[in-house]
Amino acid sequence: MTTTMTKRTLLSTLLLAGFGMAGAAQAQTTEPLRIGLIATYSGPYADYGRQFDAGIALYLKEHGGKVGGRTVEIIKKDTAGPAPDAAKRIAQELIVRDKVNVLTGLDFSPNAYAVGAIATQAKIPTLVMNAASSAITTSSPYVARLSFTVQQVTDPMARYMLKQGVKDAYTVVADYASGVDAETAFKKAFTAGGGKVSGEVRTPMNNPDFSAYVQRIKDAKPQAVFFFFPSGVMPPAFLKVWKERGMEQAGIKLFATGEATDDSYLDATGDVALGLVTSHHYSFAHNSPKNQKFVKDFAADNGTKLRPSYFAVTAYDTMAAIDLALAKTKGDTGGDKFMDALKGLSFESPRGPIEIDAATRDIVQTVYIRKTERANGQLVNVEFDKFERVKDPAKEAAAAK
């Protein structure tokens, strides 16, 4: 008994020593680039984290697991949804304990705002992968965004509707920060172009039945309706009632932002989405060689059940942006140098050409007008019109003052 024990102890000591040496050997070459990923992996929004992971994994696979010539270590942390306090604490931990070089993820705006202050203190480059509230990039000079803002995709929709001869519109938005953002941006762009918003309504976030709101619109008989709801259960519920009431037959046109026909939910939404015209920065069906390759490789890794949504694309682009910025700084991850390298960066994404505005560190990109159609048995957003180099309208307005 005792002999085996000593043998085992000896063995494990040797093993440990071996590991230690291996670790030391590695440290002598190049340390891996540590990226802290703050996202949602549990609860109703767990899909966000899955999409981020898939996008990052795809980029790393295509580039031999390296970014800026270094191996990458992703340290994932779960906020389980919008939780600014948790996001802030996690960011601190990632910086102090895990010594990350870059922070990213950030699916919810409150989380991104909370991390902004930490990024400033620690001078850690922070790349926002989804949070779409306009002012996030103004919260810290170390924050840049690769996703989009709600206003950025709403404003072109208002201009498109005017182009189609719509003069009188009704707005329906979910009653929370992004909904109000969409309502503001829409009203501004629509009235600036000579249109009139004849009615507006904000629906509560937890709203099981839309019949009252839709009936009210039917009785008000506007020329068209613009709506904004977060991805998930609200858009299908609204569209179901819209179809049931025969609003199309009543001659009322319907427009929305791309959240209404989010690629992750589109199949579950079903035929009620057919024919809906929406505006967004990415569609799974975007017709470019880069995107076709992206979608094909994505399917090879994840199967066809998980479609790459705009979350996966942004995660993929964020990796590309870090790669390009590090190439410019020659591997220096220092906050100031890295952010300088990010400013004005432009490259081809699966969604089309994108660039990071040198002045605002916010993304500049093409916003597409799409229509939901059925192609090869599945529902897709087919792009048919576009607005190029769209900036965040809220920051444009602030700069003009």
Partner 1 sequence: MGIVIFDGVAYGMLLFLIGVGLSITMGLMNFVNLAHGSFAMVGGYAASVLMNQWGIGFGLSLVAAFVAAALVGAVLEFVFYRRLYRAHPLDQVLLSIGVVFVSIAAFTYFFGPTMQPFTLPKALEGQVSLLGLEVGRYRLFLIGCGVAVLVALLLGLGKTRYGAMVRAAVDNQRVAGGTGIHVQRLFFLTFSLGCGLAGLGGALSLGMLGLEPSFPLKYLVYFLMVVCVGGAGTVTGPFIAALLVGIVDVAGKYYLPETGAFLIYVFMIVMLLVRPNGIVAKKGLA
Positions touching partner 1 (CB under 8 A) are 42-47, 201-204, 206-209, 211-213, 215-216, 232-234, 236-237, 240, 243-246, 264-265, 267-271
Shortest spacing between CB 211 and partner 1, in angstroms: 4
Beta strands at 363-375 and 378-390: parallel, antiparallel or unpaired = antiparallel
Is 141 or 232 the residue whose CB approaches partner 1 more closely? 232
In the numeric block, the tokens 């070459």 are attached to 29
Instruction: Report which DSSP code applies to 264.
Output: T
381: left (phi over 0), alpha (psi -120 to 50) or beta: beta
Distance in Å, CB of 133 to partner 1, minimum? 23
Q: Quote the least distance from Cβ 176 to partner 1, whole Å.
A: 13
| Closest CB 170 distance from partner 1, rounded Å | 11
- For the record, the structure tokens of 334 come out as 């220092």
- Structure token digits, residue 26: 């590695």
Q: Which is nearest to 157 in space by CA: 31, 253, 265, 77? A: 253
Separation between Cα atoms, residue 195 and residue 157, nearest integer Å? 13
Q: Return d(Cα 389, Cα 362) in angstroms, integer.
A: 12
Q: Across 79-158, where does the E strand assignment appear?
A: 102-105, 126-128, 143-145
Contacts of 4 (CB under 8 A, 6+ apart): none
- Least CB distance from residue 210 to partner 1, whole Å? 9
* Closer residue to partner 1 (CB): 208 or 289: 208
Q: Which tokens hold the place of 75? A: 């340290």
**Helix, strand, coil shares, percent, the chain, to 5:** 50, 25, 30
Return the number of the residue (47 or 323) whose C-beta is nearest partner 1.
Answer: 47
For partner 1, the closer of residues 203 and 279 by Cβ is 203
Question: Toward partner 1, which CB reaches closer, 63 or 202?
Answer: 202
Please identify, using beta-carbon distances, which residue of 23 and 270 lies nearer to partner 1: 270
Task: Decide whether 96 or 212 has the Cβ nearer to partner 1.
Answer: 212
Cα angle for residues 109, 129, 146 (degrees, 5° grid): 110
In angstroms, the CA 218 to CA 33 distance is: 56
What is the smallest separation between the CB atom of 315 and partner 1, expressed in angstroms? 17
Comparison of 269 and 291: residue with beta carbon closer to partner 1: 269
The smaller minimum CB distance to partner 1, of residues 97 and 305, is found at 305
Query: Is residue 115 a contact partner of residue 91, using CB atoms and an 8 Å limit?
Result: yes
CA distances from 7 to 12, 24, 272 (A): 9, 26, 69
144: β partners = 127
Q: How far apart are CA 315 and CA 87, in angstroms?
A: 18
For the bound state, the minimum distance from the C-beta of residue 375 to partner 1, rounded and expressed in Å, comes to 18
